[in-house]
Structure 1
Amino acid sequence: MKYKIIERECFQVVGIKRVFSCANGENLTEIPKMWTDVHQDGTNELLFKLNNGDINGVLGVCVDKRSTQTQLMDYWIATEHTGATPDGLMNLEIPASKWAVFEVHGAMPDAIQKVWKQIYTEWFPSSHYKHAGTPDLEVYSAGDPWSADYYSEIWIPLI
């Protein structure tokens, strides 16, 4: 797994949010359906146009709520955006953090799900880092996400 460690100040994302259950892997089947919806209804294209922050692309933002609501997570499809929140979208502030940024190569959703699994089964157990407990990011670049040579990233906040 190729990764780098970076630091970022807090920043804002704008987009849409849905709540998913993590029980029985529901999130692994339902989140790809959410992506299909945003590709079909034009939201993905709108978010690429609104992207004016340092992270180039559309984001999947994972907000783990299991500490307060059993087996639930918020999943945002968003983009880094400075300025007012456009009508029809919501905003979320991502706290300043040290991040492990993992490269993902391959077609969605299999490639990103494989790297998520490797992070938690291989990387975290062998690293000295712990998860910071703030939102994780999936960064999707422009291009065909179903292509075998598609590039994306997973950003994990660290302590």
Structure 2
Amino acid sequence: MNYRIEQRGSFEMFGVYGLINSDQQIAFSEVPQFREKCDEDGSVDLMNELLGRFGNTVLHAALYDHTRESFKYMICYHLPKGLEIPEIFTKLSVPALTWAIFPDPQCDLQKLWVRIYSEWFPTSEYEQVEAPSFEMYYGMPGHTQGEIWIPVKKK
């Protein structure tokens, strides 16, 4: 499995979030529905406008505040220093961490999530730490590549 380990300093993200069911099969249907809702309600366009980007440019996603029942899934992007954001958006502060980063040129991140937890974690020297994980998307719709970022530490 292709991955790299990187140290990153702290950073802030901003965006809109929804509560997603913790059951993986339910989550795999709820996440695309939430992403579609954010496209339709103008949240994505407003974020891109604030960032000075094309309206249909893809954004990232943060997965955090996990409980047995749900987790927060935030459509988000890096918060530039000094950018004032409207109250409809939430800020997410991410501490300095070590990341396991899994690239996927085909951007089939649902399958990649399954492989990471079923193949990589059981055989790696790392374990996940409590902090947000990310789906990082790069490009434009139809020409998107992705990465999954998971905060880790050595076992």
User: What TM-score results when the alignment is normalised by the length of structure 1?
Assistant: 0.82
Identity %: 28
Alignment counterpart, residue 151 of structure 1, candidates 120, 145, 154: 145
Cα distance change of structure 1 residues 104 and 50 upon mapping to structure 2, 3 Å threshold:
farther
Match of 1:138 in 2: 135
Of 103, 112, 123, which aligns to 2:109? Answer: 112
Q: Tell me by how many angstroms 1:136 deviates.
A: 0.3
Change (3 A) 1:91 1:151: same
1:44 offset after TM fit, Å? Answer: 2.2
Which runs of 4 or more aligned residues in structure 1 lie more than 6 Å from their structure 2 counterparts after TM superposition? none
Q: Deviations over 1:9-42 (max 9, x none)?
A: 1111010011122136221111101111222233
TM-score (norm 2): 0.84
Task: Say which SS state the counterpart of residue 2 (structure 1) adopts.
Answer: coil
Inter-partner Cα distance in structure 2 for 1:130 and 1:51: 34
- Residues of 1 paired with 2:84 and 2:111: CA distance? 33
Offset at residue 153 of structure 1 (A)? 0.6
* Aligned CA distance change for structure 1 residues 24 and 155 (closer, same or farther; 3 Å): closer
Could you tell me which residue of structure 2 aligns to residue 74 of structure 1? Answer: 72
Distance of 1:101 and 1:28 partners within structure 2: 20
- SS of 1:86 mapped into structure 2: coil
| CA distance in structure 2 between the aligned counterparts of 1:24 and 1:9, rounded to whole angstroms | 30
Q: Structure 1: which 5+ runs fail to align?
A: none
Contact 1:134 1:157 in 2 (8 A): yes
CA distance in 2, matches of 1:41, 1:130: 37
Q: Number of matched residues?
A: 147
Describe the superposition over 1:34-79 as per-residue Cα deviations: whole angstroms up to 9, x where unpaired. Answer: 1112222332233344459xxxx6211001422xxx2211111110
The CA deviation string for residues 103-149 of structure 1, in whole angstroms up to 9 with x for no partner, is 11325xxx1100000100011111000001111000111211xx4x6
Q: What residue identity is the alignment partner of 2:11?
A: F
* CA distance in 2 between partners of 1:154 and 1:50 (Å): 25
Counting only pairs closer than 5 Å after superposition, residues 77-96 of structure 1 correspond to structure 2 as 77-82=75-80, 83-87=82-86, 88-96=88-96
Contact 1:14 1:90 in 2 (8 A): yes
Classify 1:14/1:24 alpha carbon distance in 2 versus 1 (closer, same or farther; 3 Å): closer
